[in-house]
């Protein structure tokens, strides 16, 4: 069984640029959630994707967007990068049964992508 993987491991961008982060979900999982973890803080929920559609969003601006593909892998895109976007971005996958809330199933986290914005 393959766990959650994320790429790249580290990334350095400059303010105003755009970035795409990738996540491969664990085998058998159909839901992907993205979190931002700033230094010294707990993860903050960005959004969740279920069956290729956004299925819940935290308090993040529209320049944070995502995609989920038919194989349940996912991308997180951030446009117009700001210095405060520097953080560890975590992806988590889970299996959600139809008709249940995805938030309450066990989420398996990837190792994260460390994004630095200069």
Partner 1 sequence: AQSVTQPDIHITVSEGASLELRCNYSYGATPYLFWYVQSPGQGLQLLLKYFSGDTLVQGIKGFEAEFKRSQSSFNLRKPSVHWSDAAEYFCAVGAGNNDMRFGAGTRLTVKP
> Does 67 sit near partner 1 (CB under 8 A)?
no
Report residue 3 CA to chain centroid gap: 15
Residue 30 near residue 78, CB atoms below 8 Å = no
> Does 45 sit near partner 1 (CB under 8 A)?
yes
Instruction: Respond yes or no on whether the N-terminal peptide bond of residue 8 is cis (omega within 30° of 0).
Output: yes
Calculate ∠ Cα 13-36-116, nearest 5°.
20
Decide whether 45 or 95 has the Cβ nearer to partner 1.
Answer: 45
Decide whether 3 or 16 has the Cβ nearer to partner 1.
Answer: 3
Residues 12 and 10: their CA atoms lie apart, in Å, by 7
Q: How far is the CB of 45 from partner 1 (least distance, A)?
A: 4
Q: Which of 93, 102, 115, 117 binds partner 1 (CB under 8 A)?
A: 102
Furthest-apart CA atoms within the chain: distance in Å: 43
Decide whether 59 or 71 has the Cβ nearer to partner 1.
Answer: 59
Per CB under 8 A, residues contacting partner 1 are 4, 33, 35, 40-45, 48, 55-58, 90, 92, 101-104, 106-112
């Amino acid at each position: 069984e393959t766990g959650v993987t994320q790429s790249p491991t580290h990334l350095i961008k400059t303010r105003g640029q755009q970035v795409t982060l990738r996540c491969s979900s664990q085998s058998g999982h159909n839901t992907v959630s993205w979190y931002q973890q700033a230094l010294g803080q707990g993860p903050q929920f960005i959004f969740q994707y279920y069956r290729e559609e956004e299925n819940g969003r935290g308090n993040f601006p529209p320049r944070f967007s995502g995609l989920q593909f038919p194989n349940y892998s996912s991308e997180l895109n951030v446009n117009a990068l700001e210095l405060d976007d520097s953080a560890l971005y975590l992806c988590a996958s889970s299996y959600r049964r139809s008709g249940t809330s995805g938030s309450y199933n066990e989420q398996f986290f990837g190792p994260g992508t460390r994004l630095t914005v200069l």
